[in-house]
Amino acid sequence: MFYSLVSLLILLIVLMIVCVIVANRKVLKNRKRVVQLIWVAVITATCYTAFILTPADRYGLACFAGGLYFLATDWLVVYLMLFAAAYTKVSPPSKVPRRIIGLLAVIDSVSFVINAFTHHMFDLKAMTAPGWGIRYWDVRFTPLHYVHRFFVYSLVLYSLCIFFYRFVKSPSIYKSKYGSILLQVTAVVGINILCSAANLYYDYSVALYASLAISICYLALYASPRKLLEKIHSTIIGDSVIGLFAYDNNGNCVGVNRAAEDLFGAEEDIYAAAERFLADWMKEFQENTDNVIGSERTFDNKGNKVYIYATYQKFSDGKGRLLGSCIQFENRTEVVKKIKAQQYKATHDMLTGLLNRNAFEEEASEILAKASVPYCMVCSNIKDFKLVNELYGAEAGDRLLKAQAEMMRASAEEGSVSARIYADKFCTLLPKSSFDEKVFLDNMNRILSDCLETTFRLHYYIGVYDITDVNEPVWTMYDKAMLAIEAVQGNYDQFVCYYREELLQHIMKEKEVLGEFDRALEEGQFCMFLQPQIANDGRVVGAEALVRWLHPEKGMVSPGVFIPTLEKAGLIQKVDLYMWECAAKKLEEWKRGGREDLFISVNISRKDFFYLDVCEAFRTLQEKYDFDNKKLKLEITESALMENVREVLRTVDGLHELGYDIEIDDFGSGYSSLGMLKDINADILKIDMIFLQETKNVRRSGTILKNIISMSKELGMPVITEGVETREQMEFLTSAGCDMFQGYYFAKPMSVEDFERGYC
């Protein structure tokens, strides 16, 4: 019995020293306190062993060794308390109580040392156990010894309380960390109390202290942290936002976490789904020998597209044998959606959903780089689109743009790309063979009439550039198609224009005209020329006023060069107002000079009806100048009528009321000349020179002319034919019943001075 206890104690001392050596090798949490505790336990066990080994005749030494043992128990509980505080992270007693405890421990310790002489704490008596024949030291405690015990048990109780508090307060996974030590300390203290109470020959609880120290070392430094780590790991994996499928070495799914369940749908057999996922993965990455492989994938979860980033990881043992594997996946759906939305925003026009400028350039360049067939660039522009917004609101404008975009999307063919470049300017790059002008125009007309339920007729232009060099920058192609539009802008009878090299020159010229126009008007570079009009009896009855630009450098510029440009730019009315005033002034002058029989006919541009109150302009003139209204004849081309019937008819009525005669100019040059005649209440018909110029079909032209003349006679309208260049023409027209002539045969347009010299 005695020897087994001694052997056990020696064994435990050795074990404790081994523990310290092992613990010191690694950096472990709480190691310092644990090592301190073990050292004190080593000292305690050693002192006790020494004490019980002290022979019966060495009473003084036994007292000293016993005192050391009790002294050591003081420090054992002090260090237990310090360990408990460190381990549970409950702060140890504050400075003052700590000092008091230290002081008490020191007093107690000193007291035990002195006890060897004074025996005020305990006394010893060498005994032999009856029957057993065992020698032992019988310890007889003095009342003061119980003070020591009280001190010791108080500290133990304090430590237990700390552990208990932590045990109760901590979440379940932490309970065993504190619970295991709490249980062991309680058990050891309990046994110690029992041992004391049983008054045994030896204090067996010393062995338990030593075992406890070893156990604490194991629990505190190894077991609990590892267990805790495992629990934390499994909690992290279970609750992680990262989905996880775990597989054994045969590819059978052995674990699925919650995120994975959520992602793959809980009602389905998630294990089967996980195995399918791995099988698919293996098919793709069989060749890959890497331990970790990442890949982006998508799958369908009840109709929702899910984007994930999956990582496959293999686990092998030291010999390279596969232990298992896992697939982790991050749900990237939201991120991908966000990125896609951003990408969409960066490359699309938000209103119409078509590509934007930059994206168009990129895609068009890509298409052209691979193009094996001829391509063309088609641009469109709605005329006066700004007006739509102003008159019908931005919503109506948006509706129109969306409808056009929809039309372009619906008719998009393989290998084409469309975009909204800016405002109402759309652009499509497509194979030339896919572009059907008529279909495009029909679609455009349908959109315009569907979108705006109004009588206001929108006009649009389409510019087409047949691409000859695919290496040209996309924007050069676009500019060329837009240039084609610019060339026809302002024309109401033309919708489509194909880019030609001359257009560029033409546009340059136009720009030149417009650049010089204001100054020219200010400096009086425009002047009135007159071309005589002759009655069929040979008398000069009047003249047509034709504008001439007397350019300081270019000399005389004829109206064919600048009038269309000014009409397009909306500036023609300035010239016309000027010309009408010149004519009115001249008529007043002639009236005063006694030549009131001559008339002057002036031209009214179709654009004047847009930009001017024509009636008002003539009313002002007659207020300002004294002339006979009947002597100022007004020429309106039939194309002006066709464009803007209502407005022109209203103006014509107004002008009639003011007493003017209206001539229909260029009659026969348009498409619906006859139809128009029934609507307009004109006074004179001016037949276009086209019928005289026609050389191939002289007979047919003659027939038409004859019929026009006889028809106008029936309508009671005098007829004037312009462009008469030969005597034969004049004779033919006379025989057909034409009333008046104008043409080079009689005279070319001339300056007013020349006209007056010749005819007044």
Residues of the shown chain interacting with Ca ion in the complex, contacts defined by CB under 5 A: 603, 635, 665-666
Distance CA 171, CA 373 (A): 74
Q: Is 304 helix (H, G, I), strand (E, B) or coil?
A: strand
Residue with Cβ nearer Ca ion (203 or 608): 608
Interface map 537-576 toward ligand C2E (x if CB under 6 A): ---------xx----------xxx--x--------x--xx
Residue with Cβ nearer Ca ion (327 or 598): 598
Residue with Cβ nearer ligand C2E (132 or 744): 744
Q: How far is the CB of 728 from ligand C2E (least distance, A)?
A: 13
The binder of 479, among Ca ion, ligand C2E, none, by C-beta within 5 to 8 A per type, is none
Can you tell me which of 406, 725, 754, 756 binds ligand C2E, judged by CB under 6 A?
725
Distance CA 415, CA 475 (A): 19
Q: Does position 579 bind ligand C2E by CB under 6 A? A: yes
Instruction: Give me 751's structure tokens.
Output: 């300056």
Residue with Cβ nearer ligand C2E (444 or 752): 752
Residue with Cβ nearer ligand C2E (131 or 560): 560
Q: How far is the CB of 589 from ligand C2E (least distance, A)?
A: 19
Q: How far is the CB of 633 from Ca ion (least distance, A)?
A: 10
Residue with tokens 């006379």: 734
Can you tell me which of 723, 737, 754, 756 binds ligand C2E, judged by CB under 6 A?
723
The binder of 558, among Ca ion, ligand C2E, none, by C-beta within 5 to 8 A per type, is ligand C2E
Distance CA 196, CA 202 (A): 9
Of 600, 576, 469, 547, the C-alpha closest to 751 is 547
Residue with Cβ nearer ligand C2E (668 or 743): 743
The binder of 576, among ligand C2E, Ca ion, none, by C-beta within 5 to 8 A per type, is ligand C2E
What own/partner pairs with CB < 8 Å and gap ≥ 24 does 473-477 have? 474/360, 474/361, 474/364, 474/365, 474/368, 474/429, 475/361, 477/364, 477/377, 477/429
The binder of 579, among Ca ion, ligand C2E, none, by C-beta within 5 to 8 A per type, is ligand C2E
Distance CA 17, CA 11 (A): 10
The binder of 490, among Ca ion, ligand C2E, none, by C-beta within 5 to 8 A per type, is none
Q: How far is the CB of 356 from ligand C2E (least distance, A)?
A: 42
Residue with Cβ nearer ligand C2E (13 or 563): 563
Residue with Cβ nearer Ca ion (588 or 635): 635
The binder of 510, among ligand C2E, Ca ion, none, by C-beta within 5 to 8 A per type, is none
At 166, the amino acid letter reads: R
Q: Is 127 helix (H, G, I), strand (E, B) or coil?
A: strand
CA R_g for the chain: 57
Contacts of 341 (CB under 8 A, 6+ apart): none
At 84, the amino acid letter reads: A
Can you tell me which of 46, 428, 605, 712 binds ligand C2E, judged by CB under 6 A?
605
Nearest residue (beta carbon) to ligand C2E: 743
Distance CA 175, CA 155 (A): 22
CB-based contact 544:531 (threshold 8 Å): yes
Residue with Cβ nearer ligand C2E (145 or 631): 631
Q: How far is the CB of 543 from ligand C2E (least distance, A)?
A: 11
Instruction: Give me 347's structure tokens.
Output: 């490359």
Alpha helix stretches (DSSP H) within 199-269: 205-218, 224-239, 258-264
Distance CA 597, CA 628 (A): 10
Would you tell me the crossing angle of helices 357-369 and 333-347 to the nearest 10 degrees? Answer: 90
How far apart, in Å, are the Cα atoms of 322 and each of 95, 249, 422? 57, 6, 61
Can you tell me which of 665, 667, 719, 732 binds ligand C2E, judged by CB under 6 A?
665
Q: How far is the CB of 418 from ligand C2E (least distance, A)?
A: 39
Interface map 505-544 toward ligand C2E (x if CB under 6 A): --------------------------x-------------
Residue with Cβ nearer Ca ion (420 or 686): 686
- 329 forms beta bridges with 243, 310
Can you tell me which of 101, 722, 739, 740 binds ligand C2E, judged by CB under 6 A?
722
Q: How far is the CB of 548 from ligand C2E (least distance, A)?
A: 7
Q: How far is the CB of 550 from ligand C2E (least distance, A)?
A: 14
- Which of these segments, 297-305, 516-524, 549-557, 719-727, binds ligand C2E (CB under 6 A)? 719-727
The binder of 687, among ligand C2E, Ca ion, none, by C-beta within 5 to 8 A per type, is none
- 664 forms beta bridges with 636, 685
The binder of 743, among Ca ion, ligand C2E, none, by C-beta within 5 to 8 A per type, is ligand C2E
Residue with Cβ nearer ligand C2E (486 or 567): 567
Q: How far is the CB of 603 from ligand C2E (least distance, A)?
A: 4
Distance CA 658, CA 618 (A): 8
Distance CA 246, CA 252 (A): 8
> How many other C-beta atoms are found inside a 10 Å radius of the C-beta of residue 623?
8
CB-based contact 383:458 (threshold 8 Å): yes
Residue with tokens 């004779």: 731
Of 680, 583, 593, 575, the C-alpha closest to 631 is 583
Q: Of residues 326-345, which lie at the interface with ligand C2E (CB under 6 A)?
A: none
Distance CA 20, CA 12 (A): 12
Cα 447 to chain centroid, rounded: 29
Please give, one letter per residue, the 3-state secondary structure of 68-101.
HHHHHHHHHHHHHHHHHHHHHCCCCCCHHHHHHH
Can you tell me which of 744, 757, 758, 760 binds ligand C2E, judged by CB under 6 A?
744
Residue with Cβ nearer ligand C2E (5 or 582): 582
Cα 734 to chain centroid, rounded: 76
Q: How far is the CB of 718 from Ca ion (least distance, A)?
A: 16
Instruction: Give how many residues touch ligand C2E by CB under 6 A.
Output: 24
Residue with Cβ nearer Ca ion (603 or 729): 603
At residue 425, what are phi and psi to the nearest 5 degrees?
Answer: -95, 115
Q: How far is the CB of 666 from ligand C2E (least distance, A)?
A: 6
The binder of 451, among Ca ion, ligand C2E, none, by C-beta within 5 to 8 A per type, is none
- 348 forms beta bridges with 355
Distance CA 760, CA 754 (A): 10
Distance CA 672, CA 470 (A): 43
At residue 211, what are phi and psi to the nearest 5 degrees?
Answer: -60, -40
Q: How far is the CB of 689 from ligand C2E (least distance, A)?
A: 6
> How many other C-beta atoms are found inside a 10 Å radius of the C-beta of residue 526?
21
Residue with Cβ nearer ligand C2E (456 or 744): 744
Residue with Cβ nearer ligand C2E (430 or 547): 547
Q: Residues interacting with ligand C2E, by CB under 6 A?
A: 531, 546-547, 558-560, 563, 572, 575-576, 579, 603, 605, 665-666, 689, 722-725, 742-744, 749
